Structure 1
Amino acid sequence: MLRTALFSLLALGACSTSAFAQELRGDELKRLIEMPLKNIYVEYPNKTGHTFVDSTDLRLSPRDLHPAFYGCFDWHSAVHSHWMLCEVLRTNPQLAEREAILEAFDKHFTESNMLAEAAYFDRKLAGSYERTYGWAWLLKLSEELHRLASEENDAELQGKAKAWSRHVDLLADKIVQKWKQYLPKVNYPNRIGTHSNSAFALAFAIDYARSRGDQDFEQALLQKARELHASDRHVPAEWEPNATDFFSPSLMVADLMTRVLPQREYVRWLSSYFTPAGIERLCQRPQVSDLTDYTIVHLVGLAFTRAWTMARIAQYLPKGHALKARFTRASRELYRHGMSQIFNSNYGGDHWLATFARYADEVMRSNQ
């Protein structure tokens, strides 16, 4: 009954969508690149998330604590800003900002810097630092650097990328080790629309494990994802979003499970996962009342994360499935809605939104 009602609602077109070219225009890409390229060097203001264990820590600057990822207001934003620059360099190796990106990576991705970043996680009370949002983005950065290093059409870039990836892996290996130790302790998912969302992190970790051929890590992640979400039913997506969400908790789980369940099993699981009211709500554009507020601007990011999760779900669904076309159209509209606002925020959005826009664009390009 629920499944019939759901598909009937989808057929009626409850989500308003419109066709548009999803690829970034040249001027938009240039403006997006300028955001992280500038902000990875901006040390202040800085939300360190650092736990001071004694008075000697008071003398440490963000750059002292994190010689590579000190910019962009917080550690995780610095990490994923480097991911974005790496992704655009790989996909556009002759872009005008090439030399500036190479210079930044040469400065930040040194062996000594990465050893210091890895050592931070061994500090007293720092073992759970950036768990697991920052961990996920660090592994995504490592994954992207290895992709860049495998490109054979640019010898200079390939050579540099091999050195950068080798150095960054000093930190990535530390994160993987900590994640493997952490997974057995996770008894419950974190269904939240901000950094601690566990489905988001599990999805990126699975991508990394598969790209690096770490089967033990992959199997542990898949097992945990099934344990946490295989029995999810009738999620209350109509309650979304919360006031400062940049993730949709329900869509993040549905996105994660495309990596976990075989397609036929996934279709069965999905048929009782969303409610009709939930789908209608998820397709609506997030309303952002103040683009200069550092947390309300999260809702611009929500447009992009909804876009990339819907695009990935649509890509995984079989031809003719009612949600396939619906989510494809809705993802494009949500993406363009985010792009209409991204350049109008202050540093509260400027230090991170470009990454979300670019990742959404990457997923949507793969869905063509």
Structure 2
Amino acid sequence: MPGTRMDGTALDDDTATRLLSAAVANVLRDAPVHWTHVITDDAGLVPQRVLHPVFAGSLDWHSCVHQTWLAVRLLRLRPHLPGADEARQALTGLITPEGCRTEADFFTGPNGGFWERPYGWAWLLVLDAELRTWAATPQTPEQAPPSIPSSAQASVQPSAQASARLPAQPSSAQSLPAPPSSAQSSSAQPSSVQSPSAQPSPAQPSSAQPSSAQPSSVQWSSAQSSARLWAEHLRPLRTVLRDRYLEWVSHARLPIRAGTHANTAFATGMVLDAANAVGDTELSQACSEAALRWHREDRDYGGFEPDAADFLSPALTEADLMRRVLPDFPSWFEAFLPNLGEARWEVLREPVPIDDPGDPYGSHLVGLALSRAWNWRAIAAALPPDHRYAELARTAATAHEEAGRRHVFGHGYYAEHWLGTFATYLSLNAF
């Protein structure tokens, strides 16, 4: 059965409403569940909701976390959407002080040092940064168009790499722009980490897609009040996983180059963005240093992608991380993927055929198309406009976006419990 296609790069209100509705349904749905815990006795055989009262839905813990982020992101940017009040009520019922303390207690326990590392931890820190930057944002929709993220006005000060965080949509796209560059932190950065002036900032689109309905200041203020409450409740869990990630990434000698959850470049790039967004210089620097330790000397990548279950491209995800931290990213990129126009690189330039998007692993290839799209867009934005690979990267981004969006809806729970997050991240970025 063909899925409902999400055409182009616009995220219209109808699609956003559908994504929000699906996310809320997912985070409230306890079964089916993908059980991944290590247990030592029968006492551990308890429902997921007992161990994880906040994030037990959406099939698995990490998907529940990022589907919660999806709902928060849409509530922040589109508080007028149908179902927004119900979504806030649902999240308020889940993100409770007691529930977050229970989640935090698990991650301070003996299995908490490795379970959901690094993918789930990264999404939790992204969710936390979304809530905290929203809570600190003084703007209201009456002061700025509701379709433009206002995180740059937050009182928290991101560190130097924030302006290079994520690519904007192309100027021809009728979609939400990326946030403008934020003020720099006064904290010193390592000399090998890129400053804002060293890397081209992504071009801002010429216009934003207007929303079909303008939210009132009352709607926006009510939603922001909820964000402040959720951020405060989440604090114990965020603190544990922030410290866990810092300890782990500071000592991880080797990367994991998988095309799935274990990929260290993806998680570390996301955590780097989150740390920058909330002004966590210590965590940001640790992520930057890890990226350089793992990948600065990488050359002549082999064209052996993709694997059948990839939802990330190890090559492009690595490049997306390195463009955040390298002063001379174009030179590194040319050495890492030399002669990118050659036929051997069609495996990266062209979308992978998606044969069965309803299969649990077949749906991974839909996610691969979406994540490659934002990788290619980020790479294009990090290259000089006239660089020999810039147009190639833009073309590849468009092709992958078109290939992925057509399969986001209509293929059953094993696809829909997670794909909406990738589609939303591609359209709206984070923070």
Q: Is the TM-score greater than 0.5?
A: yes
Tell me the CA shift for residue 37 of structure 1.
Answer: 1.5
For the Cα contact (< 8 Å) 1:291–1:344, is it kept in 2? no
How far does the alpha carbon of each residue in 1:319-357 deviate from its partner, in whole angstroms, 9 at most, with x for none? 211222222232122112111112131211110000011
Tell me the CA shift for residue 299 of structure 1.
Answer: 0.4
How far does the alpha carbon of each residue in 1:55-99 deviate from its partner, in whole angstroms, 9 at most, with x for none? 1112x1110010000000000000000001111111112111210
Which residue matches 2:388? 322
Which residue matches 2:316? 251
How far does the alpha carbon of each residue in 1:27-74 deviate from its partner, in whole angstroms, 9 at most, with x for none? 33232222212111110111131111211112x111001000000000
For the Cα contact (< 8 Å) 2:350–2:399, is it kept in 1? no
For the Cα contact (< 8 Å) 1:288–1:299, is it kept in 2? yes
Instruction: Letter of the 2:19 partner, please give it.
Output: L
Cα distance in 2 for residues equivalent to 1:146 and 1:122: 23
After TM superposition, the structure 1 = structure 2 runs for residues 257-336 of structure 1, keeping only pairs within 5 Å, are 257-262=322-327, 265-275=328-338, 276=340, 277=343, 279-336=345-402
Matched, 1:72 2:58: yes
Q: Secondary structure at the match of 2:62?
A: helix
For the Cα contact (< 8 Å) 1:46–1:71, is it kept in 2? yes
Cα distance in 2 for residues equivalent to 1:347 and 1:117: 25
Q: Which among 205, 225, 232 is matched to residue 166 of structure 1?
A: 232
Cα distance in 2 for residues equivalent to 1:188 and 1:73: 30
Q: Which among 387, 390, 412 is matched to residue 346 of structure 1?
A: 412
Matched, 1:43 2:109: no
For the Cα contact (< 8 Å) 1:76–1:130, is it kept in 2? yes
Which residue matches 2:17? 30
Tell me the CA shift for residue 22 of structure 1.
Answer: 1.5
Cα distance in 1 for residues equivalent to 2:225 and 2:372: 36
For the Cα contact (< 8 Å) 1:143–1:208, is it kept in 2? yes
Cα distance in 2 for residues equivalent to 1:342 and 1:21: 13
Cα distance in 2 for residues equivalent to 1:344 and 1:95: 21
Instruction: Letter of the 2:280 partner, please give it.
Output: D
Tell me the CA shift for residue 164 of structure 1.
Answer: 0.8
Cα distance in 1 for residues equivalent to 2:8 and 2:428: 14
Instruction: Letter of the 2:311 partner, please give it.
Output: F
- Report the aligned-residue RMSD: 1.7
Gaps of 5+ in 1: 1-19
Tell me the CA shift for residue 253 of structure 1.
Answer: 0.5
Which residue matches 2:132? 146
Which residue matches 2:85? 99
How far does the alpha carbon of each residue in 1:175-223 deviate from its partner, in whole angstroms, 9 at most, with x for none? 1111122124311110000000000011011111111212121111111
Q: Which among 88, 91, 99 is matched to residue 113 of structure 1?
A: 99
Cα distance in 2 for residues equivalent to 1:278 and 1:213: 41
Tell me the CA shift for residue 278 of structure 1.
Answer: 5.2
Instruction: Letter of the 1:257 partner, please give it.
Output: M
Instruction: Letter of the 1:105 partner, please give it.
Output: L
Tell me the CA shift for residue 121 of structure 1.
Answer: 0.9
For the Cα contact (< 8 Å) 1:190–1:196, is it kept in 2? yes
- TM-score norm. by structure 2 comes to 0.76
Q: Which range moves more in the overlay, 216-225 or 180-189?
A: 180-189
How far does the alpha carbon of each residue in 1:88-123 deviate from its partner, in whole angstroms, 9 at most, with x for none? 111112111210221122111111111111111123
Which residue matches 2:44? 57
How many percent identity over aligned positions? 34
Which residue matches 2:174? none
Which residue matches 2:427? 361
Matched, 1:220 2:207: no
- TM-score norm. by structure 1 comes to 0.89
Q: Which among 64, 67, 91 is matched to residue 81 of structure 1?
A: 67
Cα distance in 1 for residues equivalent to 2:344 and 2:29: 40
Cα distance in 2 for residues equivalent to 1:39 and 1:286: 27
Normalized per residue, the structure richer in helix is: 1
Q: Which range moves more in the overlay, 294-303 or 145-154?
A: 145-154
| Pairs aligned (count) | 342
For the Cα contact (< 8 Å) 2:76–2:224, is it kept in 1? no
Cα distance in 1 for residues equivalent to 2:345 and 2:317: 14
For the Cα contact (< 8 Å) 1:255–1:309, is it kept in 2? yes
Cα distance in 2 for residues equivalent to 1:177 and 1:147: 20
For the Cα contact (< 8 Å) 2:311–2:364, is it kept in 1? yes
For the Cα contact (< 8 Å) 2:108–2:240, is it kept in 1? no
Tell me the CA shift for residue 155 of structure 1.
Answer: 2.3
Cα distance in 2 for residues equivalent to 1:36 and 1:151: 24
Q: Secondary structure at the match of 1:142?
A: helix
Q: Which among 116, 132, 152 is matched to residue 118 of structure 2?
A: 132
Which residue matches 1:12? none
For the Cα contact (< 8 Å) 1:51–1:126, is it kept in 2? no
- Structure 1 residues 70 and 325, CA gap change in structure 2 (3 angstroms): same
Q: Which among 258, 271, 275 is matched to residue 205 of structure 1?
A: 271
